[in-house]
Amino acid sequence: MYLSRIELSMNSPAARKAVSSPAVMHASVEYCFAGDNGLLPDREAHNRKLWRLDQLGKKLYLLMLSPEKPDFAHFSEQYCEEGIRGETRDYEPLLSSIRGGQVWRFRLRGNAVHSVTEEKGRRGKVYAHVTAEQKRGWLIKKAAANGFTVGADSFDVVEIDPMRFWRDRPVTLGVAVFEGTLTVTEPDLFKRALTHGIGRAKAYGCGLLTIANRK
């Protein structure tokens, strides 16, 4: 697996359009893995990539986790300042270092939703959590199923970004950004969470969990 990052230029009209539409950004991410013939990856490879947009100070980055190294040439031409090429690092050393009991700083952009069964025998309808407290509860439950724990005071909801866009139909995502510290409880489950993401809407920039050493 590879973790990659590239800075976007908000002076670019194309970048502003892509940032406002997860569907457009998703297509641009996929094109980073098109072969020399321009063909997009098969469905299995398509489903294994995770990405999100990170605002760090005044800079906006695309962060991406993928089985193969991306080719940012076309992406850079569309969305970046001249000379920006991005950077890619091998993710395997970090995955190999995961052990139970470790404490890591983390960041997650998640689609905090819940399912409500409105009629017996029918599939529940999905609704976005609204308040910060509801979103915190969502992450605490997700942590238990993904090999880690977060304490009530060990993380914050640093951004709430309800996202609405059109994709054959109106789409609304209950997006929130979480930051804090977590403790690994089940290493195998946790590594799967790192490589496969957490929650829904992964194609639209949600689910990518990243970690760093605690200071």
CATH of the domain at 55: 3.30.70.1200
Quick one: 165 and 144 in the same domain? yes
pLDDT at 165 > cutoff 70: no
Quick one: 180 and 203 in the same domain? yes
pLDDT at 26 > cutoff 60: yes
What is this structure's pTM?
A: 0.85
Domain final residue pick, 52, 74, 90: 90
Mean pLDDT of 37-44: 53
Quick one: 103 and 74 in the same domain? no
Tally of domains in the chain: 2
**pLDDT value of position 132:** 79
Quick one: 108 and 44 in the same domain? no
Q: Which two tokens stand for residue 204?
A: 């639209």
CA proximity to 85, closest of 66, 106, 70: 70
Question: Left (φ > 0), alpha (ψ -120 to 50) or beta: where does 196 sit?
Answer: alpha
| pLDDT tens-digit series, residues 115-151 | 666 666 565 666 666 677 888 888 999 999 999 999 9
Angle separating helix axes 22-31 and 13-20, nearest 10 degrees: 110
Mean pLDDT of 48-64: 92
**pLDDT value of position 192:** 96
CATH of the domain at 135: 3.30.70.1210
